[in-house]
Amino acid sequence: MNPNYEQMSFTELRAYVIENREDIEALRFLMSKRDPNSPKYPTPLTEADMQAQMEIIRRKLNGEL
């Protein structure tokens, strides 16, 4: 029996999905709750693209963005 995803907070649902990666229904529900205004990043196709995205992530983690 799956838990009630609607009753979980975003943080609880995210933690559940991390612990239960095989639960595709929970992952779909989590993805439906994401902020539609959040930035979207293309899939890196080259090593240079990957490095650019890693730099963006580093800057976000350091509070620079």
Residues 29 and 1 in one domain: yes
Interacting residues of 13 by C-beta distance below 8 A, sequence separation 6+: 5, 26, 29, 30, 33
Q: Are residues 30 and 1 in the same domain?
A: yes
Quick one: tokens of 2?
């799956």
Question: Which phi and psi angles does 55 have, rounded to 5°?
Answer: -65, -40
Q: What is the band of 5 on the pLDDT scale with cuts at 50, 70, 90?
A: very high
Give pLDDT, residue 35: 83
* Mean of the per-residue pLDDT values of the chain: 90
- Domain total of the chain: 2
Query: What per-residue confidence (pLDDT) applies to 40?
Result: 82
18-48 pLDDT, tens digit each: 999 999 999 999 999 888 888 887 889 999 9
Q: The pTM is what?
A: 0.56
Give pLDDT, residue 2: 73
Domain co-membership, 30 together with 42: no
Show the domain range for 27: 1-34
